[in-house]
Chain A
Amino acid sequence: MSFINYASREINCKIVYYGPGLCGKTTNLQHIYSKTAPEAKGKMISLATETERTLFFDFLPLALGEIRGFKTRFHLYTVPGQVFYDASRKLILKGVDGIVFVADSQEERMDANIESLDNLRHNLKEQGYDLDKLPYVIQYNKRDLPSVIPVETLRKDLNPTAAPDFEACASTGEGVFETLKAIAKLILVDLKKGR
């Protein structure tokens, strides 16, 4: 839930990157971190295991600039993708303003994508949110790998509601900022409509 501070003229919004384990959520944030000017970003925090698997969340604060005299900040979070961290995923979804679902384009990860997407809908519903009413974009990641499924098939299986979707290769950064820009824009448009 966005936080509007009239006293310090700031608006803070929360974006959550969701998706199955090893789909590239943390890599998305790392790329954004590495390509953002120092004055526009805060420290990136990763609560990860020794093998660099996300344990609780990654966090990256971004200051995008001003709109009508209000500083606009986005707080980017990832969830741990591994199935057994479901309790942590639920916590991170609290107060979310927009969701990026990062899908793994590889054929062998299709079941994991579907399971994670079901899990997202379920966890949102538990907190009183409806994915179809939230700002929401999908990213088809790892397009550079050999065993990828055609985008049309991914779209049919993962994006029946025709949410904005993007092809990406988070390790090289392709599509990462397009995805971020799209979700940020949807959130701002939603805020505008909200009143």
Chain B
Amino acid sequence: MSTSQMVMYDEEFQEINEVIGRLLKDSNSKVIFLVDKNGQLISGVGETERFDTTSLASLTAGNIAATGGLAKLIGEKEFSILFHEGEKDNLHISIVSGRVILVVLFDNRSSLGLVRLRVKKSSEELSGIFEKLMRKSDEQAKSGSTSFPFAEITDDDIDNLFS
């Protein structure tokens, strides 16, 4: 397989939520999401219930993938920041650690400058957490840890899903 599997543990999940929770306040934004480059939502803070977070995650990843394709065509590695300006709400999208996407939704109570500044600081913190997370899941995979929930599933468990 080309990339390692993404695994999230309680400890790092809380650390991540603290960082993006702080970013939400510091940047005066409405919602913040973290999305895996494959389109899976990792976490979200703020007014998340107002949005279809699953769709948002998938479209953001599609967006990043498409602009990444554009970047390669013109000889760039990637476009690490995207900004979408709307009438009321704006989206600031950036890539953290090369594999996670940070999405900040904000309106005129904040500004692009403030969001950029705060995102930069939080990205460094998030990078550290994700690097730790990758090391941890690699170690767990190597040690053959048995905490993996699917190691003991039976055919019946799977069939029950479709009953």
Contacts and interface: CB of A to CB of B under 8 A. Distances in A.
Interface of A: 1-8, 11-12, 14, 42-43, 45, 47, 56-57, 59, 61, 64-65, 67-70, 72, 75, 87-88, 90-92, 94-95, 127-129, 181, 184-185, 188-189, 191-192, 194-195
A32 B90 CA distance: 33
A88 to B, nearest CB: 7
B86 interface: no
A95 B37 contact: yes
Summarize B's interface: helix, strand, loop or mixed: mixed
B69 A3 contact: no
Contacts of B5: 1-4, 194
Contacts of B68: 91
A68 B149 contact: yes
A68 B153 contact: yes
B152 to A, nearest CB: 7
Contacts of B69: 87, 90-91
A195 B8 contact: no
B136 to A, nearest CB: 11
B6 A3 contact: yes
B36 to A, nearest CB: 6
A3 B36 contact: yes
B40 interface: yes
Contacts of A14: 38-40
Interface of B: 1-10, 12-14, 36-40, 42, 52, 54-55, 58-59, 62, 65-66, 68-69, 141, 144, 147-153, 157-162
Contacts of A75: 39-40, 54, 58
Give me the 7 closest cross-chain CB pairs, A-B, nearest first: A95-B38, A128-B2, A7-B13, A91-B65, A3-B40, A5-B8, A195-B148
A95 B62 contact: no
Contacts of A67: 149-150, 153, 157-158, 161
A91 B58 CA distance: 12
A192 B155 CA distance: 11
Contacts of A70: 149-150
